[in-house]
């Protein structure tokens, strides 16, 4: 990526096309059902094209417009439904193998959560509604076929009205937050996990493998956050809950090598209102809250296995 220039300047460079939006319909269901995806694709290529920086020679540049067109061509060529992970790997592999000067391709895709609707309890053949959290993918493909593949969910908003507390933290002259064993816990989970597949050839070929995996990871994250439906599970801090959520994913899925969780602590503030005449106009009894967006606590961690046993 870096090379000494004639002028004595080191250049670290990459170029690509950001936010290429594409939607694809597959009309292949034996029952006449359609499948639909909407993707926002960003491509970044690491390539030998230093002459374009050092001089007016563009002869090694893969035009970003060409990258954009390639997204549509490859979407068209995918005759069978495929996951966003497979599409990202396919694109990255294409750029590295088609262009001699490209040695690394980084493909990021955000998939919108279009879900099939049910009408009168029956799945609709061609009707979809937008769900809540996006699905994200990053595939980094090397010319050798080496792969780093990360999937994720972004904006998974979760809240529980009890079974959360925070106590025993550092208390000093700046601290006013009281200890509590009763509070609201709200967050918007951004999770991304790296798969252990280390080459393009090694990713599972079973249809919709990654689509199933994302649903399963989301379920494990949510089951751990909430606990059993009747009793819930006590959270002593966002940090502890995050650790348990990430650990549960690593325990359940051997092909997940690491997981990054970003879980803002979104505050719902107790409402207390009083006047001289009415000192208990609104007295907070774990019932009336002021929802806020900012400031919020910012808590994130990456978890991976120290040994192969977890
Ligand atoms: O779960 C929490 N973790 C913190 O680090 C923190 N800090 C804070 O003010 N409230 C909380 N809650």
283: annotated active-site residue: no
Q: Is the C-beta atom of 297 inside 6 A of ligand 1? A: yes
Q: What is the rounded CA–CA span in Å between residue 83 and residue 165?
A: 39
Neighbours of 57 (CB within 10 A): 12
- CA dihedral 57→58→59→62, nearest 10 degrees, is 160
- Beta partners for residue 104, in sequence order: 46, 142
| Residue 143 CA to ligand 1 centre (angstroms) | 45
According to the 3-state scheme, what is the secondary structure of 122-184?
EEEEEEEEECCCEEEEEEEEECCCEEEEEEEEEEEEEEECCCECECCCCCCCCCCCCCECCCC
Which long-range CB contacts under 8 A does 72-80 form with residues at least 24 apart?
72/22, 75/22, 75/24, 78/24, 80/26, 80/28, 80/207
pLDDT at 186: 98
Neighbours of 98 (CB within 10 A): 11
| Residue 297 CA to ligand 1 centre (angstroms) | 7
Q: Is the C-beta atom of 183 inside 6 A of ligand 1? A: no
pLDDT at 7: 74
Q: Which residue spans within 183-297 are E strands per DSSP?
A: 185-195, 256-262, 268-270, 289-291
pLDDT digits (tens, 9 = 90+) for 163-194: 999 999 999 999 999 999 999 999 999 999 99
Please give the ipTM for the structure prediction: 0.99
pLDDT at 1: 46
pLDDT digits (tens, 9 = 90+) for 23-51: 999 998 789 999 999 999 999 999 999 99
Q: Is the C-beta atom of 177 inside 6 A of ligand 1? A: yes
Contact 84, 109 (CB under 8 A): yes
| Residue 136 CA to ligand 1 centre (angstroms) | 27
pLDDT at 298: 98
Contact 68, 120 (CB under 8 A): no
pLDDT at 30: 84
Per-residue model confidence as pLDDT tens for the chain (310 residues): 444 555 789 999 999 999 999 999 999 878 999 999 999 999 999 999 999 999 999 999 999 999 999 999 999 999 999 999 999 999 999 999 999 999 999 999 999 999 999 999 999 999 999 999 999 999 999 999 999 999 999 999 999 999 999 999 999 999 999 999 999 999 999 999 999 999 999 999 988 899 999 999 999 999 999 999 999 999 999 999 999 999 999 999 999 999 999 999 999 999 999 999 999 999 999 999 999 999 999 999 999 999 755 5
267: annotated active-site residue: yes
Active-site hit among 15, 34, 64, 126: 64
pLDDT at 309: 55
Q: Nearest to residue 15, comparing CAs of 45, 41, 40?
A: 45
Task: State the pTM of this model.
Answer: 0.94
260: annotated active-site residue: no
């Amino acid at each position: 990526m870096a090379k000494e220039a004639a002028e004595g300047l080191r250049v670290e460079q990459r170029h690509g096309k950001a936010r290429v939006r594409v939607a694809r319909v597959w009309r292949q269901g034996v029952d006449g059902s359609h499948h639909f995806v909407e993707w926002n694709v960003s491509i970044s290529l690491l390539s030998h094209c230093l002459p374009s920086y050092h001089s007016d020679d563009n002869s090694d540049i893969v035009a970003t417009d060409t990258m954009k067109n390639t997204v549509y061509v490859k979407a068209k060529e995918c005759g069978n439904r495929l996951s966003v992970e497979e599409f990202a790997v396919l694109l990255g592999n294409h750029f590295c193998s088609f262009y001699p000067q490209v040695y690394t391709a980084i493909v990021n895709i955000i998939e919108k959560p279009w879900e099939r609707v049910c009408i009168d309890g029956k799945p609709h053949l061609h009707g979809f509604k937008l769900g809540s959290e996006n699905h994200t993918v990053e595939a980094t493909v090397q010319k050798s076929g080496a792969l780093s593949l990360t999937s994720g969910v972004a904006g998974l908003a979760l809240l529980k009205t009890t079974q959360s507390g925070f106590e025993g933290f550092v208390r000093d002259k700046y601290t006013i937050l009281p200890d509590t064993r009763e509070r609201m816990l709200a967050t918007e989970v951004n999770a991304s996990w790296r798969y252990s597949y280390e080459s393009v050839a090694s990713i599972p070929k079973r249809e919709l493998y990654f689509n199933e995996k994302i649903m399963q990871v989301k379920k494990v994250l949510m089951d751990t956050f909430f606990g059993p439906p009747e009793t819930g599970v006590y959270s002593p801090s966002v940090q502890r809950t995050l650790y348990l959520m990430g650990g549960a994913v690593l325990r359940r899925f051997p092909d997940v090598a690491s997981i990054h969780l970003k879980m803002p602590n979104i505050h719902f503030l107790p409402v207390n209102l009083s006047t001289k005449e009415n000192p208990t106009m609104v007295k907070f009894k774990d019932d009336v809250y002021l929802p806020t967006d900012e400031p919020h606590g910012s808590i994130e961690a990456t978890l991976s296995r120290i040994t192969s046993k977890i």
